[in-house]
Each structure stands twice: as structure tokens, then as C-alpha cells.
Structure 1
């Protein structure tokens, strides 16, 4: 009876953390349609907008790098409660900002709250995985993709019909309500981990940095498709704007669907084998996209790449959160910070290279980075699940 009660609590915790992934994705996705209004409302150049978006990224990375320390002291459930409730107001703060200095502060805080939420919810998903002795990370990221898709798809219509402030207010109310309900059912780590880090310190285990490097290489590819695939189709393959937009839509849509199947695949074939097959598929898709003779072949190749990348990041996050000798939060903090810096740094670096080259060879080179992840896949063995031993 006691074991059954523990399992019911774990299952409730599984859906609670899924709701928070959904809310985080919804907040992030709802920001994208606000960008054009933000640009005209503050009367700023694209360069200034770029710097403000960079501040969002800087806030996220700053919170991510510190969040592991907070989780090791207070547990992922407590930290997720703080960041989740604060994070739900981030978009509204940006929408209310009347000038550039206040917008800069709002963007840094919004990025920090979303980044802190990200580490804490991934760390909590690892706790749930341990309790259930099975993978849930891929489908959790599937809920994030679903939230992002909903936020992006509904936002433009809502802003056009009711204005940017009404949109931000409704997004805030929905996110806050979902998070406020979900945090009541989150599960905590088995034992306090405060003894692990009395002061802020980086973990000494080199393996966690290698896992972080694999996440970085994977997420560089994700960032490249997000920021440059449409331009590649338009400028180099002669697609019109409507067709060019399908590249990321196909990539992210297939990725979201695949993430809901990912846990079943991983539970059946194991994390390392799933990671190897995924990396091979992603590398093949990226290579064909870079060599594609027509827009439609490129779109199909990017979709195939999304099929592969879908479960690479969740497996690497699970591996990071399950390292020996450190809390799930500490390992997760290192891997998420290194991984997300790939999405933040790569787009500007790729833009610089593309000015002196073309996008095709860049996508071919990115397929090589995914082959490196394939060769390193054995390091992700900590993401494997065996039945939990009896206490």
C-alpha cells in the first residue's frame, strides 16, 4: 500500500512537471509575436533589438549557472516554485516597459526567470525519472515544444485583435494559474543535498563537462535551423517567403511529435543506442539540407534532422542530472548552461561566417558536429534506467 502511494505521488509529480514545461514553452513562444510590436513601440533599430535579445540570453545563462547551487541547497521543487511564479510575470514586465533602459532590465529579468525555471524543471524531471525508474524527459520536452507552438501560433492573432498588453496579461494569467496549480504536486529529492555545496563551486567530475559539450554541439545545430534555415532557402535556393518559413516549421513540428514517442523508444532501446541513432539521423538530415538542390528537398531534410535532434537534448539532460557525486541540479546546471550557450552564441557566429561564405557549407559542417556527438554517445550511459533497488 505504501509503495502504491509513493507511485501515485510520483505520477502526479510527473504531470505537474509536464505542466511547468508547457507553461515555460508557452511563455517563451508568446514572446516571439511580441517582438515586432516591441521594435515599433520603443522606436529602436534592429541592432538595439539584437542587444536587448542578447540581454535575455545573458539573464538566462546567469540564472542557469547559479541555479545548480540553489537546487543543491534547497531542492529542485523549492527553486522551481520561486522561479516559476516569478517567471510567469516576465513577459508582462517586458510588455509594460516604457523605454529602452527599463526594457533592458525587464529583458534580463525575464531571461533569468525563464532560464532558472529551465534548470529547475529539468532537474525535477530527473527526480521523477529516478522515482518512476523510467524515462520522462523526452515527453517533458515535447510539452515544452507544444507550449512554444501554442504561444507562437496564437500570439500574433491575439495581439492583432486585442493589443500587445491584453495578450501579455492573458498569457501571464494562464501561465501563473497553471504553475500555481502544478507546484502543489511537484515531488522533492529523496534526501536533502545541502551538504554537497555549502558555497558556490563548480563540480570536479570532468564527465559532466563532456556531456555539456555534447549538448552544446547539438543545440548549435538547433539554433542554426531556427535562425538561418529560412534565409538559406530564400537566398540560396530561390524559395519565396511562405515556402522558406516551412523549414523551421517542419523541423520543430516533427521534433515536437517525436519527443512524445522518445521516452518509449529510449525505454526500449536504452539511452546510448537511442542517442547514437538520433545523432546519425540528425547528421544525415543536416548534410542533405546543406547539399540540397531545391527548397523542398531542404525542407524534408530539415524535418529529418528534427526527427534526430528531438531526443538528443532530453537524453543528454538526463545524463547530466544523473552524474555520480553531485545533485541532479548541479549536473543539470552545467549541461543546460553549456547547451543553451550554443543557441545564444552560434547564430551570430554563423551570421558572420555566412557573410564571407554561403549557408550550404555551414550546414554541411554542422553535420560533422553531430557526428562528434555520435562518437561520444557512450558517455551518456548515466541516462540509462534500471529498476530501482528496494530500499
Structure 2
């Protein structure tokens, strides 16, 4: 490689990972890592508090309600103080939450701890997405998809190591290790997060604590919701579908979400380059079409192998749809990024939190195959609303 080529490569790497981009990527990594580390703790948490399936379901609902309550509050605080301040504050409060969940010894302390955990995950989620939008504007290029890729990577690290650590070290020692690693991630991110405190005159006509009157954030929220319902369905019901309806072994049934997660994370790292090349609207339309094909393949699959290919295809499609919706929400004209984002994240995550239980109720009567087919109709609506993605290009075009 010539000296000129080497210089070009190093310049590209430098532009790819500026300090601000590193800062916000570490926030996403830490948030995903905390959720990933919590997943393998759930059985131990349930047995310690003596929770049956219904009681555990209510506890998990408390996590979701905590998120949905805190997301709009975080949005209003971002409009006042900027996303850097809110994301750092939420991250500090979130860091010791797994320790709190590990010492909860009755249903009430457990419910308070899990509600706080969900609330802080949600608040940090809105703030770090707002900071990613601000960093996109600062860099004049798309970064949202790779930020979400770091979140997926964090979730993978937390969930893959958690089970082993709990088995070898015990639940409390695992929580200590997770807390130390999360503190390290926040420490590395701390100075690098982009400062974006709002100008005193900015959005002066807008009351940050009120819900926006413009239909735009609600419509983009619908895009996020309809993209995240299939994601929640695959997460909660994919393995069961392979096991119960397509006769897969326990080991093979794990490949439903694994195939989906792998292609989703890989495509999220590539998503920003694709979006910079094609624009947000075209990228969303192509992704939506691929995701529809994946869901149809899952629903019509004659065996587990074909269904797993469908899950992988759906992961490719869905990967960059939510990051584009979030970028669009943070760039709506005349609206603070935190306000638009709080609407869209709340609507989107309610799809992952609330839809799976409804799916379970319907699946008792229809089976899961028809449900995956029906979910493709949600993405047809996303395609019909795809022109809204043009707001995402305001970040860097």
C-alpha cells in the first residue's frame, strides 16, 4: 500500500470515529450491556422473590411502565439542559441498578428496583438517541445505525457472559462485575460526549413539558412502533415457533433470535454507509421490502431451516428501520430533538413491551405462523409512510 493510500485509510478511520462519535457509541454499548446482563439474572431474581409466571410477568410489565413513564420526562429535560447532561445523569443512576436488583428481598423492593431500572434505561435511551442526532448534525453524516449496532453488541456481551458468571461467581458477584464494567464504559465516554446544551432562544415557542401538537412525531412514532412489534415478536416467540410448530430441537430453536440478532448487528454497522449513499427514504423502502420477505418466509416455512433463513432475512430488513425513524424524529422542523424523540421512542418501545402478550393471546387460537404473516402488513404501512424518513437526511445533507 502506498503512503498516499495509507494516509487516505487513516483519514477515513479518523472521520469514522471522532471523539464525539466514540462518546455516544459507548453510551449505547453501556445501555445495551446493562439490559443484556439483566436477562440471565431473571430466573435467579424470580426464585429469590418466589415469583410464579404471572407474578414475573407483572414484574416485567413494571419494567416497561417505568420506561414509558420516564421517556417523556427525559425528553422535556433534554429540551431544557441538552442531551449530554441528561444522558450522563441517567447513566450514573443506572450503573448501580443491577446491585439493587440483586439485594431486593421481597416483592415490593423488587418492584421498586425493577421500575427504577426500566425508567433509567428508558430515560438514557431517549437522551443517547438525542445525542446521536446532535452528533450526526455536528459530523454532517449518518451515525445512528452504528450507534444501535453498539447497543446490540452490548446486549450480546451482557447476555452471553451473564449466565456463565452467575453460575461461577453467584448473582451478587456478577452484579459487581457488571457495575464495574459499566462504570468503565461511562468513564471512557464521559469527556467525549458531544455538548449540545440548547440556546436560550431555541424553541422558545415550544413548551418542553407538553406533548407536541404536530402530527409528524406521532406518524414517525407509528413507523417505529410497526418496525418494533415484529422485533418483539421474534424475540419472545421465535424460539417457541421453531420448537412447537416446526419440530426443531431446543438447541436449534435458539437460532431463531440468534440468526435475527447476528444479521441485525452486522447490517447496523453497514447501515450508515448505505444511508449516506442512498438517502434515508430509499434505504427505509429497501429495508422494509426485505423485512416483509423475511416475515413471509417465516410464516410460510415448511421446516425450521427455512424459518431460520427467514429470521436472518428479517434481521437484515428491520436493522436500519428504527435508527432512521429515530434520526427523523430528532430532526423535525421547529421541535427540540428530545421532544420528538421522546414521542417516537415511547411509541416504538411500547411495541416491544406490550405487543408480545397480545400475540400470545391470539396465537392460542391461530398458531404463530399466521401471526408472522400478519406482521408483514405492519411493514406495508411503514412503506406507505416511508416519505417521512426524508427528515432523517436533515442531519447531514
Q: TM-score range by the shorter chain?
A: over 0.9
TM-score if structure 1 supplies the norm length? 0.95
Residue 10 of structure 2 corresponds to: none
Query: Of 136, 142, 165, which residue of structure 2 is paired with 1:158?
Result: 165
Q: Post-superposition, which runs of at least 4 consecutive aligned residues in structure 1 deviate over 3 A?
A: 193-199, 385-388
Contact residue 73 and residue 198 of structure 1 kept, 8 A: no
1:387 CA drift (Å): 5.5
Q: Which residue of 2 aligns with 1:379?
A: 388
Q: How does 1:109-128 map to 2 (within 5 A)?
A: 109-128=116-135
TM-superposed CA distance for 1:372, in Å, is 1.1
Q: Which runs of 5+ in 1 are unaligned?
A: 1-6
Long gaps (5+) in structure 2: 1-13
SS of aligned partner of 1:223: helix
Would you say the 8 A contact 2:203–2:336 is kept in 1?
A: no
**In the alignment, does 2:325 pair up with 1:289?**
no
Query: For residues 45 and 188 of structure 1, what CA distance do their matches in structure 2 show?
Result: 46
Alpha-carbon displacement from aligned partner over 1:6-38 (angstroms, at most 9, x marks no partner): x99x92111100001000000000001001111
The structural deviation recorded for 1:357 is: 1.2
Tell me the residue number matched to 1:347: 356
Alignment of 1:103-252 (within 5 A): 103-189=110-196, 191-192=198-199, 193=202, 195=204, 197-198=206-207, 200-252=209-261
Aligned-residue CA RMSD in angstroms? 1.7
In 1, distance between residues paired with 2:119 and 2:18? 29
Structure 1 position 196, deviation (Å)? 5.2
User: 1:287-345, CA deviations, whole angstroms, 9 ceiling, x for partnerless residues?
Assistant: 11001000010000010000000000000000000001111111111100000000011
SS at match of 1:238: coil
Which string of whole-angstrom CA distances, capped at 9 and with x for unpartnered residues, describes residues 342-367 of structure 1? 00110000000011111010000001
Matched with 1:259 is 268
User: For residue 303 of structure 1, what is the aligned residue in structure 2?
Assistant: 312
Question: Residues 96 and 37 from structure 1, CA distance in 2 versus in 1: closer, same or farther, beyond 3 angstroms?
Answer: same
- Given the superposition, is the C-alpha separation of residues 61 and 137 from structure 1 closer, same or farther in structure 2, using an over 3 Å criterion? same
Q: How does 1:331-370 map to 2 (within 5 A)?
A: 331-370=340-379
**Which residue number in structure 1 is paired with residue 7 of structure 2?**
none
Post-superposition shift, 1:183? 2.2
* Counterparts of 1:309 and 1:325, CA distance in 2: 29
Contact 1:321–1:329 (CA<8 Å) still a contact in 2?
A: yes
Asked if the contact 1:137–1:314 (Cα under 8 Å) also holds between the matched residues in 2, the reply is yes
| Aligned pairs, number | 383
Q: Distance in 1 between matches of 2:169 and 2:203?
A: 47
